[in-house]
Chains A and B, each alone.
Chain A
């Protein structure tokens, strides 16, 4: 089906010019879409988190150098030049944003949800993180510190959430299923 909105036609016009110039293969574009829509997604991050919960040595490596640690799991990519993983603890809650555009750790979380790109989230999270968290249904104790991490082209952040209270004794695979995308952005507590 051909889309007929102006944006769709403009995108189609651009693609047709690039294909004519021999600079773009539509099949490559198809592959990228499939890869990011279906293969690269938050389950990659969930595997990383569950491994960190069950393997203290891996957790140490992950917090010291996120990029190298996720490479152990075969995860890397153009957008993870430098991945920094920040750990939620009983004293600190971490929250990730990109105030300037929409930088996001694709390799571990896939493509960002719509609200992450929204101007309201991007500006408010810095100004009033506690209030924004409340709107996401996260009520933090008053004495818990909140750290907001602003992503950039050079550094992408991912939150290592605290494990669910009832997760004790679960296998790594079972724990991975409990990890949500939002918890790795920092807007959900497990």
Chain B
């Protein structure tokens, strides 16, 4: 794959822009795309969840627009709808990760 990154397809300097503010945003995008490609849901099904998340946030409409949080929320929703990941299961894992000692890496 590395050779494909060179040549005419290398990142453009003028047009270029960092798309993700933090690595987790890239992971969320990568997960959503990979799982759709793998057929766990269609992109339309994901999009419907994203539209609902966006509309929900706009109903409250305060602070900076947390696009990738909404994107993550949509991914959680579509995976719950498809019985792939139970929300309670995810929350439990999240709590475990939150209580990890700082400096944890793997």
Which of the residues A1, A4, A33 comes within 8 Å of B27, measured between beta carbons? A33
A102 touches B (CB below 8 Å): yes
**Across the interface, do B9 and A11 meet the contact criterion of CB distance under 8 Å?**
no
Within 5-42 of A, Cβ neighbours of B (below 8 Å) are at 5-18, 21, 23-25, 28-34, 36-39, 41-42
Report the interface size for chain B: residues with CB under 8 A from the other chain.
61
**Across the interface, do B9 and A7 meet the contact criterion of CB distance under 8 Å?**
no
**Across the interface, do B19 and A111 meet the contact criterion of CB distance under 8 Å?**
yes
User: What is the distance, in angstroms, from B87's C-beta to the closest C-beta of chain A?
Assistant: 10
Which of the residues A1, A14, A31, A43 comes within 8 Å of B12, measured between beta carbons? A43
Contacts of B90 in A (CB 8 A): 10, 13-14, 17
User: What is the distance, in angstroms, from B28's C-beta to the closest C-beta of chain A?
Assistant: 5
The 10 closest A-B CB pairs, nearest first, are A29-B30, A8-B24, A13-B93, A32-B30, A42-B15, A13-B94, A11-B24, A111-B19, A33-B26, A33-B30
Enumerate chain B interface residues (CB-CB to A < 8 A). Answer: 1, 4-5, 8-12, 14-17, 19-20, 22-24, 26-31, 33-38, 40, 43-44, 47, 50-51, 54-55, 58, 61, 65-69, 72, 75-76, 79, 84-85, 89-90, 93-94, 96-98, 102, 104-106
Enumerate chain A interface residues (CB-CB to B < 8 A). Answer: 1-18, 21, 23-25, 28-34, 36-39, 41-43, 46, 78-79, 100-103, 110-111, 113-114, 117-119, 153, 177, 180-181
